[in-house]
Amino acid sequence: MSNDLILSEARKLLDIEIESLTLIKNNLTTDFSKIVILLASKNKLIVSGVGKSGLIGRKIAATFASIGKPSYFMHPVDAMHGDLGMIENGDVVILISKSGSTQEIIEMMPYVKGRGALIIAITGNIDSFLSHNADYTINAYVEQEGCPLNTAPMSSALVTLAIGDALATCVMIINDITIQDFSRQHPLGQIGRNITLAVREVMHTNEQIPLVTESSSFREAIIETTNKSLGCVCIVNSEKELKGIITDGDVRRVLQKVDDIRSVLASDVMTLNPITVSPDMLLGQALGLMENRTSQINVLPVVNSDKKVVGVIRIHDIVKSGI
């Protein structure tokens, strides 16, 4: 099989999956909105499915748990052997079945209803037993799976996963989930560090801050930059309010153009109104601010609510923190 043929087949599959996502987007109805309102409540969410549907269901339940919604995956076989006791009146149960006739799912439905839970069906067959007996249905129909046999759940699994993500996104918006709320479920790992560590915890402060005034000479600015070794110098007024910044790159560019710097002032060279961060900004946000620029920024002034310089943070400091 040639490289060209392999790439052609891969692109064909991706095209099919993209078309499936477009189809599901266009098939959303007002039922979707009603389901979001239900999921935004404080009741538990139980997700169930078999095989690949079960794997996708686990991810959906985990996503909702990560945004603070009490959510659990329940295998339908385990449900019939005691786990039904987890379901309480008013809970929401998402049952996933491409065909809408998965035996294990069908068998548990009357017992779920008997416990006073609401059933949401995610199925590729809206004319199925599951769809007809659920309280709400989300149409997850796909025209093609994408695999050579049109059998392995590829497009259908992706579409179901996307539906779960769409539900979770809308619930986050309705419940006004903040980054601080999110951090409570993610205290460890890279995500945890991104959303719990703040700029103030790694920034350089006090005597470490390279500072000169607007009336300082460019030469004095270079000396201060060299002495503090942070790759910049902040230009401030008498109230220590930030007016500009000179970076190592600025210094090099001026030295390439000007032979005699004795008459050059720091204010002649500085970048006015530079990008800044606050001490309380999360490190992940600060890193994104540095990286998501046309040209990457390596160092930023840290200012308080009065625009006074209280620190300097480098991209190197953020990387050292481990995020």
Per-residue pLDDT in tens (0 to 9) along the chain, 323 residues: 899 899 999 999 999 999 999 999 998 999 999 999 999 988 899 999 999 999 999 999 999 998 889 999 999 999 999 999 999 999 999 999 999 999 999 999 999 999 999 999 999 999 999 999 999 999 999 999 998 898 899 999 999 999 999 999 999 999 988 776 676 666 555 566 666 678 998 899 999 999 999 899 999 999 999 999 999 999 999 899 999 999 998 899 999 988 888 889 999 999 998 999 999 988 888 888 888 766 678 899 999 999 999 999 998 888 776 65
Among left, alpha and beta (phi > 0; psi -120 to 50; other), residue 307 is left
DSSP single-letter state for residue 313? E
Whether the CB-CB separation of 228 and 209 falls below 8 Å is answered with yes
CATH of domain 3-177: 3.40.50.10490
C-beta separation of 268 from 212 below 8 A: no
Cα(322)–Cα(52) distance, integer angstroms: 35
For residue 236, what pLDDT is reported?
95
The pLDDT value given to residue 229: 92
Q: What are the residue boundaries of the structural domains of the chain, listed by start?
A: 3-177, 199-320
What's the pLDDT at 307?
A: 92
From residue 241, give the alpha-carbon distance in Å to each of 237, 271, 312: 6, 14, 14
pLDDT score recorded for residue 323: 55
Ramachandran bin of 7, using left for φ above 0, alpha for ψ from -120 to 50, beta for the remaining angles: alpha
CA pair distance 297, 284, nearest whole angstrom:
14
Dist CA 118 CA 46 (whole Å): 10
The reply to whether domains 3-177 and 199-320 share a CATH topology is no
CATH code, 199-320: 3.10.580.10
The Cα–Cα gap between 128 and 106 comes to: 10
Residue 295: the pLDDT is 65
